[in-house]
Structure 1
Amino acid sequence: MSQKELTKKAISLLKELIAIQSFSKEEDRTAESIQNWFKAFDIPFERENNNVFAKNRFWDESKPTLLLNSHHDTVKPNQAYTRDPFHAHIEDGKLYGLGSNDAGGCLVSLIATFTHFYGAKDLSHNIILVASAEEENAGKNSLRGLLPSLPKIDVAIVGEPTLMQLAIAEKGLVVFDAIVRGTPSHAAHPNDNNAIYNSIKVLEWFRDYQFKKTSEALGDVKMTVTQINAGSQHNVVPSQVDLVIDVRVNDQYTNKEIADLLKAEAPCELQERGLNLNSSRIDKNHPLVQSGIALGRGTYGSPTLSDQAALSCQSLKLGPGDSTRSHSADEYIYVHEIEEGIDLYIKILEGFLKK
């Protein structure tokens, strides 16, 4: 099948996926649509929960493995939508619909790319395609849960909207719950240990704190207080103020290092919610990256999380669409972005797999 025909079928698949509600943990029907693609091309596949995956025809255990991954779950549409989020339609070159940009365009482009290479011989790597579930909520049945069932992965492309530029690093995330304590009392009486007043210096500490290590690709670690809660009524001084702190971690720290550092230095009680969303990176000199650079693609560091956080190998975030459209009202992707995305994926892999 020609690349043009393959691209046309990929766009049709995306329309089909948009029309099916597939919120995280509810992707069973979109998984069936993806299975139908593989059936139509006579490609053997497997399914675990709502993750669908397939290997290239000439799989060779002696070769390293390249993972192509993107997700088919979506967030719920926000209240600002003016269009039916499940009505896939093209208008002025834009394909509208929930999940079109994040990350349906990437997913169908990677599926088409995998199909293009499925029967190719003498590739430098095996290829495994994973259409994963529960990415948006980092669920237990996401790519993270599937990895123990997969062969060892040596390098990966994770399909997220990057305007087909090469995101060679991605920030990790640690969320902390903090408690600033004080003495509870009646508001009418003196109290020099008011938890709310105590929180002022704590908030200033978080605002002004600077991490020493910076990253060429990802810049500084970014720490932000995002939630604050205290008090129950006007005449009661509360015993504590609860804070939530969002820390976006560069590739110079592990999440555990960040947690240990802040828990030792912060002027309040601090507890991390989890440490599993680590930063990701791939060497700029990696042949996969160099293949993209040779095609005029630029490199950058991504501030947003993806399924890269589940991977221990080097990984590249790359895909059609624009990250700023993700989770927005009246989400869309340009048709030409999918066409160009498939073409660039194929050319980048030709440069990488056929050396």
Structure 2
Amino acid sequence: MSMSAMTVETIQSRLERAKAHLQHLISFDTVSDKSNLPSIDYLASHLDELGAELTLLPDASGEKANLVARFGPADKPGIVLSGHTDVVPVNEGEWTTPPFEMHGRDGRLYGRGSCDMKGFIACVMAIAPDMAAAQLERPFYLCFSYDEEVGCLGAPDIARYLAGLDVPPDFAIIGEPSDMRLITGQKGKIAMRAIVKGTSGHSSLAPCHVNAVEYAGRLLNLITAQAERYATEGPFDPEFTVPHATFMTTTIAGGVATNITPDRCELTFELRSIGENDPEREIAQFLEGAKQIEAEMQAKAPGTGFEWQPLFSYPAMNDARNSHGFRRFSDLMPDYGGKVSFGSEGGVFEKIGGIPSVILGPGSIRQAHKPNEFVEVSQMETCLDFLSCLVAAETS
């Protein structure tokens, strides 16, 4: 993307602002089991000073909150810039520098969340003064959420809030790391836990018991069979790296000793779906298929069977390129990067808020969730340039 419209001094000052914001954001330990309020307070304080209209959306506990900040008029459809404030856990022994301190070297900025996705938030904050100073024809909604990493838990409240506005936004950019390439689709996800309840006793009398681990194995076979059907029968979308839905077991635990028939086993599993799937119906069909196995268990010992616990879910994000909101900015969009199998809040904005969404942000998903996570400074610069062009496009 051309940077001809920006002076070297302006480019450098925006980059320094972004680095300063990123340094502060990384310093907040916002692993999902902790409060994100210090981070939200920091963002709100800076945006309030710039004159943004702020809306805080706390969770039920009061320990976490979403923040929505608007620049520009409220009577026209605008654009959402969305980022999550939480990060995944760290094992400090695997880091060469402290994970909650920003360290720069070799053109990279290191720290937990640097690419996923505090780098994008820092760029948005660096451009916020430009939004405040501009005569915007349409509004920008800066949306910062909690608990994306554990199931997009905060984003639904933001989507409902935006949908309830007199004039909702009509386009959203989710700043997940995409190497600053345009991503127009993501898979949805349903995660569940199965608790298998059997009967225990001395393993020498195994035929008299309901072995929870063995019946969990029967469930594993059902999951594997469904995964194979997705791989061979589709539906397919070749723009995904894995061009079909996936269904897999992710954890399993059961049994207490080698001479005791296990009476309990737990396993978790996930369905990652593309837009052509009907994931709720397909999960329901899987649960219906498990009833035959459960009937065998109960015929042997009443009270045995399966308990199903939904963990979390988020919808797939579909292609927004035919939407009116996207077409306003299509000339500014960078190279096309296809569709991704990882999750984001884009599907939530689309399904709950009716807001067509794309993914576009600095950093690489290959660096996310790893020790020594980093974002390239050059990608921060590209992101700043892109955001400044968005502001210019919406300025009268």
TM-score by length of 2: 0.77
**Match for residue 259 of structure 2?**
235
- Tell me which residue corresponds to 2:382: 340
The DSSP-based 3-state class of the residue aligned with 1:204 is helix
After superposition, what is the alpha-carbon deviation per residue over 1:334-354, rounded to whole angstroms, capped at 9, x for unaligned? 211111111123336656x57
Among 300, 306, 309, the residue aligned to 2:338: 300
Which letter maps to 2:155? L
Q: 1:188 to 1:252 in 2, by over 3 A?
A: same
Q: Secondary structure at the match of 2:44?
A: helix
The code of the aligned residue for 1:303 comes to S
Name 1:9's counterpart in structure 2. 17
Q: 1:157 aligns with which of 156, 167, 173?
A: 173
Q: 2:40 aligns with which of 25, 28, 31?
A: 31
Q: Please state how far the C-alpha of 1:92 moved relative to its aligned partner.
A: 1.3
Higher helix content, 1 or 2 = 2
Q: Structure 1 242/75 Cα, relative in aligned 2: closer, same or farther at 3 Å?
A: closer
| Alpha-carbon distance between aligned partners in 1 of 2:317 and 2:77, rounded to the nearest angstrom | 19
* Corresponding position of 1:104: 118
Deviation at 1:316, TM superposition (A): 0.8
Which of the numbers 284, 287, 307 marks the counterpart of 1:260? 284
Tell whether the 8 Å contact from 1:7 to 1:342 is kept in structure 2 after alignment: yes
2:78 matched residue in structure 1: 65
TM-superposition CA deviations, 1:2-28 (whole Å, max 9, x none): 354223212211112222333334222
What SS is found at the alignment partner of 1:9?
helix
**Equivalence map 1:34-113=2 (5 Å):** 34-49=43-58, 50-57=65-72, 59-61=73-75, 63-79=76-92, 80-113=94-127
Gaps of 5+ in 2: 1-8, 59-64, 294-305
Which runs of 5 or more structure 1 residues have no equivalent in the other structure? none
Q: CA–CA distance in 2 between the matches of 1:217 and 1:113?
A: 32
Corresponding residue pairs, total: 350
Equivalent in the alignment of 2:61: none
User: SS where residue 189 of structure 1 aligns?
Assistant: helix
Report what 1:145 is aligned to: 157
2:346 aligned with 1:278 = no
Aligned equivalent of 2:368, options 326, 334, 340: 326
Aligned to 1:116: 130
Give the aligned CA root-mean-square deviation in angstroms: 3.0
**Residue of structure 2 in register with 1:203 after alignment:** 220
SS of equivalent to 1:346: helix
Q: Which moved more, 1:202-211 or 1:297-306?
A: 202-211
Q: How far, CA to CA, are the matches of 1:94 and 1:167 in structure 2?
A: 23
Deviations 1:76-126 (A, max 9, x none): 322422311122221111111122111111112223345434444463x43
Q: Give per-residue Cα distances to partners, 1:288-340, cap 9 Å, x unaligned.
A: 65645765411322211222243222211110001121121122112111111
